[in-house]
Structure 1
Amino acid sequence: MAPKKIILDTDPGIDDILGLLLALSSKAEDLELLLISLTFGNVEVKHCLRNVISMFHILEQEMQWRRQNGKPEGFGTLRASRPVVALGAEQPLEEQKMLADYFHGTDGLGGIHTSHPHLTPTQAWEHLFDSAQDPEGIKPVQTGAAPGDHFYIPSKLPAYKEILRALRENEPYTVTLVAVGPLTNLALAAAEDPETFLRVKEVVVMGGAVNEPGNVTPVGEFNAYADAVAAARVYALTSPSPPSTLPPTRGPDPPYPAKLSRPLTLRQFPLDITLRHNISRGEFRQAVAPLLKAGSPLAEWVDAFMGHVFQTLERLHPGHEGDDAELSLHDPVCVWYAITADDPKWAPSASSPEDIRIETTGQWTRGQCVVDRRNRHRIEDDKESSSDHGLWLSQSAGNRILRMDASPVEGNFGRVIIQKLFG
C-alpha cells in the first residue's frame, strides 16, 4: 500500500512542532509529507519559519547522536523524502491580526532561541526563501548550504501557490491537507483555483469550538478567530451552494464560480475533541529525564519549550500545577488522524455532516461556530424566507462539516507522542 500523502499547513508554535515531529517520525511506508506551508498565527510567520528550520537542524543532530549510540535513527518519513517548505500568509484576509505569543512566547517556542542559542542554527538559510532572488519558486540547493537543509526543499513561492502545485502534481483525491493554524493560505489557494483545490482528498482542520467554550473569547477558538473570513470561505466549499454560506465581507478575488465539480470534504477537530487529548508534565518529565542524561539533542530541545508551556499553563489555568499540569495536544491529534485515518475508532459526531458556519462580523462572536439548535422540519425551498433567514433549513444550502467526536487514542495520546518521538 502506498504511503498516505499530506500537506501540513501550520503556524509553529509548540503543539504545531509536536505535530510536525509526529509526522516526520512516521514510517516511510505510512506517510509522505509533501509540503510544510507556513502561516502567521501563534507567532509571526518569520518566527514560524525559524522554528521549522531549527527543527530540521535538531533532527540532524539527533539522528547523528542515535547512530553514534547504536540506536535506530527513526524518522523514516523524513529520511525517505524531503518536504517543500514555503512561507505563507503574514496577516488575515480582513481582520486585525491577533497572535498567540502570550502562550507560545514571542518566538513561538518559549524563548528557546535566546535561552538555548546552541540549539538554534545561524540564519544563513534566510536567502533560500527570498522570492526576490528567484520569483519562479524552487531552485536546486546544494546540501550543506545551511544546517539541516538536506532534509527540506526551500520554496520562494507563496505557500498557497505551493499548495496548488502539490495538488496539481498528484493524482486527484490522494492528498490530505492538514490545517492546524488560521486558514488564510487555504482560502487564498481556493480563491485562485477552486477546482485544483478540490482535488484534495480531504481537509482536516484544527479549529473552532461547538459545545465547548472558546479559548480566546467565550465562543471563539484561536484559529477560527485569527482569520474568521478565511475559515468561513473554506467551510463554504463543503456546501451544495457555497454562496449560501459565504461571509458578507469581500475576501480575496475572484469569487467562487456558481457551480463547482464537487463539495469539499472537511473534517473539523474542534476544542470539543482536542481537549480530550493531553500530555501531563509528570508523564513528559518521566519519559525525557533519561534521554536528557544520555545527551539526546531532541530531548533537550523539546524539554526547553515544554518547560515554558507547563509554566504558562500554571499561570493561566487554576489546577494546572506541578506534575498534574496538562498540555492539550490540539494539532498533533489532526496529524495522527491523517496517519491513522483507516482506524475505525475515528468517528464524526452522530449528527454529521453538520451545518457549521463561522461568524465573521459579530462584535463579541468573531470566529464562533454557529449551529442551528432549533427543532424544525427541513424544507426543499432554496429561497430565503422570513421564517428561515440564512437558509438554515434548506436541503440545498448550508455547510456539510464532518465534526470529529471519537478517536482511538483518547486518554493515552501523551504516551503515543512520547513513543513516536523518542522511541
Structure 2
Amino acid sequence: MPEPTPPLPVVIDTDPGVDDAIALLLALGSSALRVAGVTTVAGNAGIEQVTANATAVLDLAGAPADLPVAMGAAGPLAGGPRVPDEPVHGPGALGGVVLPPGTRLVAGTPATGGHGPDGRADGTAAVDLIARVARTHPGELVLLALGPLTNVARLLERDPEAAGMLAGVVHMGGAAFAPGNVTPAAEFNTYCDPEATRVVLTSGLPVRLVPLDVTRRHGVRECRVHDATAVVALLDPERFCWRRHPVDVECVGELTRGALVTDVYGRTGRPATVELALDLDPDPVRHRLLAVLEDAR
C-alpha cells in the first residue's frame, strides 16, 4: 500500500463505539486526511444506534455539513443474528455519554431507502458511497475500516471494479499472535463477521491490518483506543513495525471461530497481500492519541 500523500482522501467505515468516536475526532482533526465519506456497520451496537452515534460525533467535531454519510449492513455477510452489543461501551455505546442528536441526512435509512424486505439495513447505500468516492479518486482513496468488514466484503462482491480502485484498506481487527478480546482466540470485529473478514483479507486488496497485538501497547490507560490506533497507523506508518504475510480467518471452529490465521512460513502458498502491524513505537503513538483526547475535553 502506498504511503499517504497529504491530504489523503479517506472513507471511514465505522461502528461507534467509544474508540470509534475518538478515531473519528482524530481523523477529522488531521490536516493530512480529507474525510470524503462516512459509512456505518453494525458492531459495537445495532446499526441504528451506531449510525446515530456517528452523526452525533460528526456534528460535535464540526465536520462539513455536506460530508456524505451512509448506513451500512445491519448484520453479518452470511446472514443470521449479529453478535450482541459490546458491553464495554456502555449504554448507547458511547460510555453513557449522551450527545445531541445528529442533524445530517443519512443515505440508506428507512426515510431515504436502503432497507431490504426484512426491514434491516442491507448495506447498499454504504457500498454505493464507497464505490462513488473510489471512482472519484482512483488509486488514491484509502478505506479506513474500524468495525466488522461486512460493508467492505459487500463492496468486493457487488462492485469489484470500484474495489480495485482503492489505494488500500487500513483495518483495526484481528489478533495475529495476541489473545482475543471476545473469545480466547478472536478479536471483536473479526468475530462479528469472520466470513466478511475472510473475503477481504484473501481478496488481494492491499490491506494494512492493525490487530490487538499493537492496539494494547500504546500506554494509554483507562481508555480503550483500538480504532484510534489504526488512524495513527495510517497517519504515521513509520511508527509501526509491519510484516507482510498471507492471512486467513477461521470461520467454522467450535473454539476458534473468528481467529486470525497468519501464515508466517508461507505454507499455504498464497500471496502475502496483508501487512500486519506487529509492534509500535509507544511514545509518539501515545502522544498523538492523548493530544486528540485533550482537544476533545
TM range (shorter): 0.7 to 0.9
Q: TM-score, normalised by structure 1?
A: 0.61
Question: How many angstroms apart in 2 are the aligned matches of 1:51 and 1:132?
Answer: 17
Instruction: Say whether residues 1:163 and 2:147 are aligned partners.
Output: no
Structure 1 counterpart of 2:278, from 360, 384, 405:
405
Matched AA of 2:17: G
Structure 2 counterpart of 1:331, from 212, 224, 227:
227
1:277·1:328 contact (CA, 8 Å) conserved in 2? no
TM superposition shift of 1:335: 1.1
Distance 1:103 1:86, change over 3 A: same
Q: Any residues of structure 2 matched to 1:49-64 within 5 Å, and which?
A: 49-60=51-62
1:6·1:338 contact (CA, 8 Å) conserved in 2? no
Matched AA of 1:269: V
Matched AA of 2:251: T
2:210·2:233 contact (CA, 8 Å) conserved in 1? no
Q: Secondary structure at the match of 1:370?
A: strand
Question: How many angstroms apart in 1 are the aligned matches of 2:239 and 2:96?
Answer: 38
Distance 1:132 1:103, change over 3 A: closer
Matched AA of 1:348: W
Instruction: Say whether residues 1:233 and 2:202 are aligned partners.
Output: no
Q: Secondary structure at the match of 1:48?
A: helix
Q: Which residue of 2 aligns with 1:417?
A: 289
Instruction: Say whether residues 1:120 and 2:11 are aligned partners.
Output: no
TM superposition shift of 1:89: 0.5
Q: Which residue of 1 aligns with 2:253?
A: 362
Q: Secondary structure at the match of 1:92?
A: coil
TM superposition shift of 1:224: 0.6
Distance 1:393 1:6, change over 3 A: same
Matched AA of 2:96: G
Aligned residue pair count: 282
Structure 1 counterpart of 2:40, from 38, 41, 45:
38
**Deviation larger for 364-373 or 31-40:** 364-373
Q: Secondary structure at the match of 1:54?
A: helix
Q: Any residues of structure 2 matched to 1:272-421 within 5 Å, and which?
A: 272-280=213-221, 326-341=222-237, 344-349=238-243, 353-372=244-263, 392-394=267-269, 397=270, 399-408=272-281, 410-421=282-293
Question: How many angstroms apart in 2 are the aligned matches of 1:420 and 1:198?
Answer: 33
Matched AA of 2:252: T
Question: How many angstroms apart in 2 are the aligned matches of 1:5 and 1:273?
Answer: 25
Question: How many angstroms apart in 2 are the aligned matches of 1:163 and 1:57?
Answer: 21
Q: Deviations over 1:165-202 (max 9, x none)?
A: 111121x2201111111000000011011121011111
TM superposition shift of 1:217: 0.7
Matched AA of 2:171: V
Structure 1 or 2: more strand by fraction:
2
Distance 1:203 1:129, change over 3 A: closer
2:232·2:285 contact (CA, 8 Å) conserved in 1? no
Q: Which residue of 2 aligns with 1:176?
A: 142
Question: How many angstroms apart in 2 are the aligned matches of 1:411 and 1:127?
Answer: 39
Task: Mark the runs of 5 or more structure 1 residues left unpaired by the alignment.
Answer: 61-77, 114-118, 137-155, 239-263, 281-325, 379-391
Matched AA of 2:239: K
Q: TM-score, normalised by structure 2?
A: 0.85
Q: Which residue of 2 aligns with 1:247?
A: none
Matched AA of 1:178: L
Question: How many angstroms apart in 1 are the aligned matches of 2:176 and 2:47?
Answer: 28
Q: Secondary structure at the match of 2:135?
A: helix
Question: How many angstroms apart in 1 are the aligned matches of 2:106 and 2:38?
Answer: 15
Distance 1:110 1:327, change over 3 A: closer
Task: Mark the runs of 5 or more structure 2 residues left unpaired by the alignment.
Answer: 115-122
Distance 1:372 1:90, change over 3 A: same
TM superposition shift of 1:111: 2.6
Distance 1:159 1:22, change over 3 A: same
1:221·1:271 contact (CA, 8 Å) conserved in 2? yes
Q: Which residue of 2 aligns with 1:69?
A: none
1:135·1:157 contact (CA, 8 Å) conserved in 2? no
Matched AA of 1:220: A
Question: How many angstroms apart in 2 are the aligned matches of 1:46 and 1:40?
Answer: 8
Structure 2 counterpart of 1:88, from 42, 67, 72:
72
Matched AA of 1:277: H
Distance 1:211 1:127, change over 3 A: closer
Q: Any residues of structure 2 matched to 1:16-31 within 5 Å, and which?
A: 16-27=20-31, 30-31=32-33
Say which one has the larger Rg.
Answer: 1
Structure 2 counterpart of 1:202, from 160, 168, 184:
168
Q: Deviations over 1:331-360 (max 9, x none)?
A: 01111222234xx333303xxx21221011
Q: Which residue of 1 aligns with 2:96?
A: 111
Question: How many angstroms apart in 1 are the aligned matches of 2:75 and 2:279?
Answer: 33
